[in-house]
Every structure is written in C-alpha cells, then in structure tokens.
Amino acid sequence: MKFYKSVLVLALAMVACVPESDKYDVKRYLCDFEGVYWDGLVNDQLNNDNLPAGTFAFEWHDDVSDLAGAVTEPYQGYWEGVALSNFCSIVADEDGTYEKQLYAYVEKPYSGKNFIICNGFMSGCVELRFDSKSSFIESMMIANTTYSRNATGNGFRTAERPLGNNESIWIEAKGYVNGSDEVQATAKFYLYEKGKPSFEGWKKWYMSSMCKINKVVMYVKWDGQGEWMPYPAYFAVDDIVVVRQELRE
C-alpha cells in the first residue's frame, strides 16, 4: 500500500511540474524604425550643433517590440540620447563634422531607410527600455558614425589627435530589471580596437549574454589616458531583434 501511495504522489508531482517551455511560445519581434510613425520622427535640424532650447526633447515608442527611447537636451545647443536618422556617408573626412552628427558611416541603412544614432557624449551612456514588459534583446546591427570615424582617424575637434595604437573604444551594455539599480547582465561590443575600426559597414551584435530585462544602458568606454573620453561617443543602430516568451493561447 505504501508503494502505491508513493507512485501516486510522484505522478501528481510530475503533472504539477510541467516544464515552463511547454506553456510558452518564443516569439521574435523586429524594431527596424520603418513606417509613417518613424518617418515623422526624423528631424533634419538635429544635424545642427546649435539646437534651440527644448525643441528636440521627445520620446519614441515602438508598438511591435515595446522598445522606447528618448532625445534630451541637457545643455542648450547639445543633445544626447537616441535620435532617428536616415543620413549615410562613407566620406568621413568631409562628412565627419559635428554639423553632420547624424551620419552613419555606411553606404545605406541596414534595412529600409531609417535607423537610430546613439549619442552618450554628455553623460557617457544612452538608454533603451521596454515600456510595458520585460524582454530579451537577441541582437542589433551596429555601425560607426562619420563624426566618430573622423575624430578617431584624424583627431578632429575635441580629440586633438587620432586614436592611439594601443587604445580602444567599445560599447558596454548593462541590463536592469524592474527598476532595480543592480546590474542583471552585461555585454560588450568593440567599435575601435588598437587604434583601428573593428569593422566596416554594419555588424551584428549578438547579445546572448543579456537576460530578460526592462532596460539596457549602453556606455561608451575608452581605455586611453585622461579623466574623460575626448572622442565622440556616437554609434548607429538598426534592426533590433527582441525575443519574448508568451503564454500559449
């Protein structure tokens, strides 16, 4: 009798412990910044370093992926955050000035006609968040900008000198959950290594080390000497792939 009771308890436990993967479907959502909504957010005047006070402080939200970002103006005439763009050039010497700070150093967007430019020069970081549900960021396409290529290659403006042979610049992503200040996951992506660009055109950043998060903060790091990074903390992003586990209907 004791044996039969043990078997019954084990069977009930197995029913109660159905694997989570059997309850959920894994779905992928692409944030590609295309469509009428995104076209309306591309602001040509953001290509001017002298921004009118308060004019370009706005937020955006992608209904498909639930991703959101913002452009702010911490100081009059300067902006940071995540801005929409459709400017491309592979002539860094001519198109690598601060007046053309929304130019990605590519022949064309990775897909469609729009992408985003991330600028963390003032605070050192930019932020993307999920507005209503925590999710995984599987990957995103990354490119350098003409402004950063001109500065690292020619020592333009605040850089004063080209990037040194032993110096690198990279993006360090930190993931956060439910408003906590505790870092839940990290990922790293090199823009420049040992004084040279790490890649040309667009390159996919596989963010497999990132867990399910509510927001990701991306810091632009530099391993040179000095208290602050003299090179523009700009990079371009396109086609962000978001993954969510959703209950089966």
pLDDT at 11: 39
Per the model's pLDDT, the better-predicted residue between 67 and 47 turns out to be 67
**Helix ranges, 24-145 (H):** 36-39, 92-95
Q: Tell me: pLDDT of 210 over 70.
A: yes
Least confident of 4-8, 9-13, 92-96, 162-166: 9-13
The answer to whether the CB of 50 falls within 8 A of the CB of 61 is no
Measured between alpha carbons, how far is residue 45 from residues 30, 49, 97, 155, 185 in Å? 27, 9, 15, 25, 36
The string of pLDDT tens digits covering residues 27-54 is 999 999 999 999 988 888 787 766 665 6
Quickly count: other Cβ atoms within 10 Å of residue 179's Cβ: 7
- Cα–Cα dist 111/43, whole Å: 19
Quickly count: other Cβ atoms within 10 Å of residue 47's Cβ: 16
Least confident of 50-64, 66-80, 182-196: 50-64
pLDDT at 47: 78
pLDDT at 4: 41
User: Which domains, from first to last, does the chain contain?
Assistant: 28-247 (2.60.120.1350)
Quickly count: other Cβ atoms within 10 Å of residue 211's Cβ: 11
The string of pLDDT tens digits covering residues 156-178 is 988 889 999 999 999 999 999 98
Residue keyed to tokens 């990701």: 216
The answer to whether the CB of 170 falls within 8 A of the CB of 190 is yes
Q: Which residues pair with residue 139 across a beta bridge?
A: 206, 241
Q: Tell me: pLDDT of 57 over 90.
A: no
The string of pLDDT tens digits covering residues 180-190 is 889 999 999 99
pLDDT at 226: 79
The string of pLDDT tens digits covering residues 114-140 is 999 999 988 889 999 999 989 999 999
The answer to whether the CB of 176 falls within 8 A of the CB of 215 is yes
pLDDT at 147: 96
pTM, entire model: 0.87
